[in-house]
């Protein structure tokens, strides 16, 4: 390969981390950021790594999913996390920052790095040669988004994220739910939450009157085109039975523990409505609420969805959302190294690859940047152990089912199970943390001792 520098497109959280890791490896970078030449619908400044909404990177404790990811990134020399640590503000257990100082500090540091050439320019097409990292985020500019759509193929691209909540399997009451597919047909069985008439009517009333989140203007625009995928609360508002003829239809679903559903004597045992949960990950630890894309406020989602039989104590790893979000269908497209399968010198990171949240975007930037530099230096790209939160995220997005792929935040449900079952949640999460950090340290040491230097 003759190229000696990497092109990084987008200087948000992922792009900044990627550019920094590349430069720290001694490789030159052209870092393109379209702001302020071209505005995005959500950013307000011209600074790099602007935090578009909250100033929080999530829980700090390392036995929480976000906190574990912070700690992994800290050990790997992330500039985003070290800058966040330096400019943190009190936030009751969360890693929150003074957003102005945080972004301006990163802008100055990157702009002054001798190997980073910051160009304020919109890129409208994927560069056809060289090593390139795409990190243009959920609000990728329209022309580049069209080119990315052409490159990936229509079915591998989304402009709008209408995601249902995801629930941790072991928080579902297995004595109430039952595993079955409709009429016992179909590819795989669903977990079904049965409702009697009284339970359904109560749920329907609460859902129809629950509080919705405000849509931003540019999101309202997109929502208009999304009639085929209405929020569950909109269906509830359309009438008492609308959901029972839609995602909550009970036909063909029966709990075999109650007898044979074809037998007329069991007719009275048939559920009045059913909420279905579809398996989200290979291990069956995460379950997606089918048809529950929603605009309800997060607190309201927890309150109302906990009325569903079997979900009374449900632990949500991701709440439902409906917002503008450009992301690719990574499972059909990317290796866990974040290289495209069809062009290994093209890498992607950040919200664009279907991870969710600031810290996950930073993690993607670290890996894509590190691997881009390694390609230039003639080294093998890295795959992070999947027992770490970082490794598990990139394992998930590159191996989940492409058919139902939706963005995923860091959470313990994507990690491989521990060798033995631990009932106590805090203790279990502590064990996940210990295993992750030990495995990360061992992996880093191995890289260093085999002279495949990991960038720190």
Ligand X SMILES: Cc1cc2nc3c(=O)[nH]c(=O)nc-3n(C[C@H](O)[C@H](O)[C@H](O)COP(=O)(O)OP(=O)(O)OC[C@H]3O[C@@H](n4cnc5c(N)ncnc54)[C@H](O)[C@@H]3O)c2cc1C
d(CA 360, CA 349): 9
- Give whichever of 247 and 354 is closer to ligand X, judged by the CB atom: 354
Q: Does 194 bind ligand X (CB under 6 A)?
A: no
Count of residues in contact with ligand X, rule CB under 6 A: 33
Contacts of 307 (CB under 8 A, 6+ apart): 199, 202, 203, 206
Tell me the residue nearest to ligand X as measured from the CB: 12
Q: Does 52 bind ligand X (CB under 6 A)?
A: yes
* 6, 7, 10, 190: which one binds ligand X (CB under 6 A): 10
Least distance (Å) from ligand X to the CB of residue 331?
Answer: 18
Question: Any known ligand binding at 246?
Answer: no
Q: Which of the stretches 36-44, 97-105, 159-167, 432-440 binds ligand X when contact is defined by CB under 6 A?
A: 36-44
For 90, 227, 291, 318, 366, the CA distances from 75, given in Å and listed in that order, are 22, 45, 40, 26, 12
Q: Does 68 bind ligand X (CB under 6 A)?
A: no
d(CA 55, CA 88): 10
Of residues 291-350, which lie at the interface with ligand X (CB under 6 A)?
A: 350
Phi, psi of 211 (to 5 degrees): -85, 130
Of residues 270-289, which lie at the interface with ligand X (CB under 6 A)?
A: none
- Give whichever of 45 and 196 is closer to ligand X, judged by the CB atom: 45
* CA-CA-CA-CA dihedral for 107, 110, 111, 113, to nearest 10: 160
d(CA 127, CA 119): 15
- Give whichever of 324 and 433 is closer to ligand X, judged by the CB atom: 324
* 45, 54, 342, 453: which one binds ligand X (CB under 6 A): 54
Q: Does 138 bind ligand X (CB under 6 A)?
A: yes
d(CA 284, CA 194): 20
* 78, 141, 387, 388: which one binds ligand X (CB under 6 A): 141
Phi, psi of 318 (to 5 degrees): -145, 135
Q: Does 122 bind ligand X (CB under 6 A)?
A: yes
Q: Does 357 bind ligand X (CB under 6 A)?
A: yes
Contacts of 136 (CB under 8 A, 6+ apart): 9, 10, 12, 15, 123, 144, 326, 350, 352
Q: Which of the stretches 9-17, 203-211, 410-418, 447-455 binds ligand X when contact is defined by CB under 6 A?
A: 9-17
CB of 41 closer than 8 Å to CB of 99: no
Question: Any known ligand binding at 13?
Answer: yes
Q: Does 67 bind ligand X (CB under 6 A)?
A: no
* CA-CA-CA-CA dihedral for 10, 13, 17, 23, to nearest 10: 40
Q: Does 33 bind ligand X (CB under 6 A)?
A: yes
Residues in contact with ligand X by the rule CB under 6 A:
9-15, 32-35, 40, 42-43, 52-54, 122-123, 135-141, 144, 350-352, 357-358, 361
**Residues marked as binding for FAD?**
10-15
């Amino acid at each position: 390969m003759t190229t000696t520098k990497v092109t990084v497109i987008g200087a948000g959280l992922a792009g900044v981390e990627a550019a920094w890791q590349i430069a720290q490896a001694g490789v030159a970078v052209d870092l393109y950021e379209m702001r302020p030449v071209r505005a995005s619908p959500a950013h307000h400044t011209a600074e790099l790594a602007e935090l578009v909404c909250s100033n929080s990177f999530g829980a700090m404790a390392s036995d929480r999913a976000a906190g574990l990811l912070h700690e992994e990134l800290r050990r790997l020399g992330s500039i985003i996390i070290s800058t966040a640590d330096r400019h943190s503000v009190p936030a009751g257990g969360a890693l929150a920052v003074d957003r102005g100082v945080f972004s301006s500090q990163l802008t100055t540091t990157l702009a002054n790095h001798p190997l980073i050439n910051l160009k304020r320019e919109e890129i409208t097409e994927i560069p056809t040669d060289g090593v390139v990292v795409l990190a243009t985020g959920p609000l990728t500019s329209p022309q580049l988004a069209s080119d990315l759509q052409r490159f990936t193929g229509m079915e591998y691209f989304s402009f709008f994220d209408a995601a249902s909540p995801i629930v941790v399997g072991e928080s579902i009451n297995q004595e109430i739910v039952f595993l079955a597919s409709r009429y016992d047909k179909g590819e795989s069985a669903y977990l079904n939450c049965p409702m009697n008439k009284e339970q359904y009517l109560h749920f329907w009333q609460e859902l129809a009157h629950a509080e919705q989140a405000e849509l931003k203007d540019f999101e309202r625009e997109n929502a208009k085109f999304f009639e085929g995928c209405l929020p569950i609360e909109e269906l509830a508002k359309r009438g008492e039975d609308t959901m029972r003829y839609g995602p909550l239809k009970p036909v063909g679903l029966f709990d075999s523990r109650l007898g044979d559903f074809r037998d007329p004597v069991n007719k009275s045992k048939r559920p009045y409505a059913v909420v279905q949960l579809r398996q989200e990950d290979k291990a069956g630890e995460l379950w997606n609420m089918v048809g529950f894309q929603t605009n309800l406020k997060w607190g309201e989602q927890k309150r109302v969805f906990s009325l569903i039989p079997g979900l009374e104590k449900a632990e949500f790893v991701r709440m439902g959302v409906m917002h503008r979000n450009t992301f690719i269908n990574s499972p059909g497209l990317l290796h866990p190294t974040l290289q495209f399968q069809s062009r290994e010198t093209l890498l992607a990171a950040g919200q664009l690859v279907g991870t969710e949240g600031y810290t996950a975007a930073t993690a993607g930037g670290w890996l894509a940047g590190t691997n881009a530099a390694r390609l230039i230096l003639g080294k093998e790209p890295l795959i992070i152990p999947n027992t770490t939160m970082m490794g598990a995220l990139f394992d998930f997005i590159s191996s989940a089912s492409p058919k139902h792929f939706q963005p995923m935040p860091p959470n313990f449900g994507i990690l491989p199970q521990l060798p033995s079952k631990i009932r106590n949640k805090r203790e279990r999460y502590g064990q996940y943390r210990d295993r992750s950090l030990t495995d990360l340290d061992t992996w880093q040491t191995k890289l260093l001792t085999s002279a495949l230097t990991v960038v720190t």
